[in-house]
Amino acid sequence: MKFRLQTQFAITIIAIILFLVLLLAGLLQIDFVQTIKESRELGSKLTRDALFDQTRKKGLSLAGLLSGSLVNALYFDNQDLINELARSTQGQPGVAYVFIYDRTNRVIQDGTVTIEKFGTLLNDKHLQESVKKRQPVSWTTDKVLHVTTPVLAGSRVLGGVRIGLKLDEIKIDQKNLQDVLARIANDHDTRFAIFTGVSALILIILGIIFAVIAAKRFTRPVNALMDLTDQYSKGNYDADISLNRTDEIGDLAIALKNMATARKLADAESRQHQEQLAHVSRVATMGEMATGIAHELNQPLAAIAAYIDGSLRRLSTENQTPKPIIEALEKASDQAIRAGDVIHRLRDFVRREDHKSEKVEISDTINTAMQLLKADFDLNKVDLSLDLARPSPVVIGDSVLIQQVIFNLVRNSVDAMSSMDSGSGKLIIKTSTDTDSILIKILDNGPGVEPELQKQLFEPYISTKKSGLGLGLPICRSIINELNGQIWYEPPPSQGAAFYIRLPLFSGESAV
C-alpha cells in the first residue's frame, strides 16, 4: 500500500499519540489501583489507629471523669457513692471492668454487687507510673485496653481508678469500615476507568486532529517544493515559491532555486553551443554545396553576360532598335536579381544570429529550402515532388533552423540517391495537419538506412558518409526538440527512407 507523505506523517503521529495515551492510561490505571490498594491499607491502619485512639480517649475520659467524681467520695470514704459510681461506669458500653482502689492500691470497688475483686493488690508498674506522673496511664493486653489513673485531692493521692475497655468492638468496627472502604474503592475504580477511557478517547481525537493539522502544516511546503520541481522539470526555471522558512525545508527551496538557476545557465550555454554547432553545420553544408551553388549562380551570371553581350552587339549595329535592347537588359536585370536572391538566401542560411521565436509558415520555409537545393536536384537528376498543405501551417520557431532541418534531411536523401541510375531518384515532401500539430514527411526511393543503424541515426558521430562528422541528424533532433516537436525515422513499406517531423501548430496563444 502506498501512502502520500502527509498520510504517512499523520499516521505516524497518530500512532505515537495513541501509544503514549494508551501507555499513560495504563500507567495511570496501574498507579490508581496501587494507590487505592495502599489507601485501603493506610485507611485500614488509620482507622484501626483512630478507633484505638478513640477507645483510648474514651478510656481516659471515663477514667478521668470517674476519678474526678471520686475525689470527695474517697476523701470522706463515702462507700455508697463510690459503689454507685463504679457500677454506673461498669454499665457503660464497651467497659470490660472497673476497679476503684484506695491509697494502698487495693481494690475497694469493682462495679459488681459482690465486689469480687475486693482487696486485690494492683501495685503494678502501670499504677506506680500513674502515681509518679500524677497522670493516667494506658496499655493494652490481648483484647482489653487498660487505663489507670490516680484520684487526687490537690497533690494528695487518695486512691485510683482502673478501667478496662473491650478491643473486640474495635475489630468489628474496623471490619465494617473495611467493607465500606472496599465498596468506595470499587466505585472509584469504575469511575476512574470510565474517566480514563473517556479522557484517552478525547486525547486520541485531539491527537488525530493535531496530527492531521501538523501533517498538513509539515507537508504544505513539501508540496510547494514538489510543485516547484514540477515547474522546473517542465523547463520553467523562472518559477518561484515564497516559503519564508529558515529550516531545512527553506534550505531545500533555496538549493532547488540555485539548481534551477544553474540549469537555466547551463541550458542557455548549451543552446548557445547548439546554435554555434548549427551554424557551423550550415556553413559546412554550404561548403559541400559549393558546386551546386556555383552552378546556381553560374546560370544567371551566364545569362546576364549573354544578354549584355547581345545588347552590345545590337548597339554596335546601325540598325538600332531600342526595344530588343531594353528587353535584353531587363532580362539581364532579372537574372541579376535571381543571382542576388540566391546569394541572399545563402547569406540568410549561413548567417549567425540568436535563435528567434517567431511565426513560421512551414510551406514557405520548405519552398525556400528547396530553392537552395535546386542545383543539387538538377545535378543529381532527382525528381522532387512537393505536396504542401495550403494555407501554409504556422508553427512557432526559427525559420532558418527549421530550414536547416529540412535541408539536412533532403540533402541526405539526395546524397543517398546520387549513386542510383541518373534520373531515377525521387523525393517526396508532404505536409499534413491535425488539430494541434503538423506532420512533415520526407520520403525517398533511395537505398534506405541499414536496419542496424536505424536506432542510432540520431546519435552523434554516426554517419555513413566518408567525410561526414555524424552531427547533422543529432543537430536536427535537438532543433526539433527545442521546438517541442519530434523527429523520427521509419522505413517505408517499399524501398527508400522516410523521415517524419511533428511540430506543434501555432494556436494563437503561444508565445512569439
Partner 1 sequence: MKYPALGLIFFLTATFHFVVSVQAQNLPPSERSKTLVIGKISDDPKKHHPVLERMGSYLAQNLSSTGIVKSDVLIAKDLEQMIDYLANGKVDLLSETAFSGLRLKMRAGAEIILHEWKKGVPFYRTIFFSAKDSGINALSDLKGKKIAFEDSGSTSGFLIPIAMLTRGGFKVEHLRSPRNEPKRDSIGFTFSRGELNMVTWVARGLVSAGAFSSTDWKEVVRTPDRLKKSLKIIATSKPIVRSLVLVRKNMSSNLKSSLRSVMKNMSNQESGRKMLSDYYKVSKYTDIGSEASKSLAEVKSLMQYLPKSSNK
CA distance 103 to 324: 182
Q: How far is the CB of 115 from partner 1 (least distance, A)?
A: 5
3-state secondary structure string across 204-265: HHHHHHHHHHHHHHHHHHHHHHHHHHHHHHCCCCCCCCCCCCCCHHHHHHHHHHHHHHHHHH
Smaller CB separation from partner 1, 156 or 273: 156
Q: How far is the CB of 132 from partner 1 (least distance, A)?
A: 18
- Alpha-carbon separation of residue 465 from 12, 137, 446 (angstroms): 63, 131, 15
When binding is defined by CB under 8 A, the residue of 27, 153, 213, 259 that contacts partner 1 is 153
> What angle separates helix 5-75 from helix 79-90, to the nearest 10 degrees?
160
- Residues 57-76 contacting partner 1, CB under 8 A: 68, 71-72, 75-76
3-state class (DSSP) for residue 1: coil
Q: Residue 455 is placed in which grid cell?
A: 536506432
Q: How far is the CB of 33 from partner 1 (least distance, A)?
A: 57
3-state class (DSSP) for residue 65: helix
Q: Which residue has the cell 545588347?
A: 311
Do residues 107 and 117 touch, judged by C-beta distance below 8 A?
yes
Strands (E) across 21-136 are located at: 95-102, 107-109
**Maximum C-alpha span of the chain:** 198
CA distance 52 to 60: 12
Q: How far is the CB of 192 from partner 1 (least distance, A)?
A: 57
Contacts with partner 1 by CB under 8 A: the residue count is 21
Q: How far is the CB of 77 from partner 1 (least distance, A)?
A: 4
- Alpha-carbon separation of residue 266 from 123, 193, 240, 258, 272 (angstroms): 117, 67, 19, 12, 10
Smaller CB separation from partner 1, 76 or 248: 76
Q: How far is the CB of 104 from partner 1 (least distance, A)?
A: 7
Contacts with partner 1, 88-107, as mask; x by CB under 8 A: --------------xxx-x-
Q: How far is the CB of 133 from partner 1 (least distance, A)?
A: 17
When binding is defined by CB under 8 A, the residue of 53, 77, 269, 378 that contacts partner 1 is 77
Smaller CB separation from partner 1, 55 or 109: 109
Do residues 498 and 300 touch, judged by C-beta distance below 8 A?
no
CA distance 69 to 244: 92
Smaller CB separation from partner 1, 77 or 240: 77
Q: Which residues pair with 397 in a beta bridge?
A: 358
Find how far residue 481's CA is from the centre of its chain: 34
Can residue 108 be called a binding residue for partner 1 (CB under 8 A)? yes
Sheet arrangement for strand 95-102: 107-109, 95-102, 156-166, 144-153, 137-140
Q: How far is the CB of 158 from partner 1 (least distance, A)?
A: 8
Do residues 257 and 240 touch, judged by C-beta distance below 8 A?
yes
Smaller CB separation from partner 1, 114 or 321: 114
When binding is defined by CB under 8 A, the residue of 155, 244, 422, 467 that contacts partner 1 is 155
CA distance 337 to 329: 12
Binding segment toward partner 1, per CB under 8 A, in 108-116, 311-319, 366-374, 382-390 = 108-116
Smaller CB separation from partner 1, 21 or 73: 73
Can residue 123 be called a binding residue for partner 1 (CB under 8 A)? no
Q: How far is the CB of 136 from partner 1 (least distance, A)?
A: 17
When binding is defined by CB under 8 A, the residue of 115, 144, 243, 420 that contacts partner 1 is 115
Smaller CB separation from partner 1, 34 or 61: 61
Smaller CB separation from partner 1, 68 or 322: 68
Smaller CB separation from partner 1, 62 or 211: 62
CA distance 193 to 11: 27
Q: Name the percent of the chain in helix, strand, coil, to the closest 5.
A: 60, 15, 25
Binding segment toward partner 1, per CB under 8 A, in 152-160, 189-197, 308-316, 480-488 = 152-160
When binding is defined by CB under 8 A, the residue of 8, 61, 79, 507 that contacts partner 1 is 79
Q: How far is the CB of 86 from partner 1 (least distance, A)?
A: 12
CA distance 378 to 90: 152
Q: How far is the CB of 99 from partner 1 (least distance, A)?
A: 14
Smaller CB separation from partner 1, 153 or 213: 153
When binding is defined by CB under 8 A, the residue of 4, 37, 132, 156 that contacts partner 1 is 156
- Contact positions vs partner 1 (CB under 8 A): 68, 71-72, 75-77, 79, 102-104, 106, 108, 113-115, 118-119, 153-156
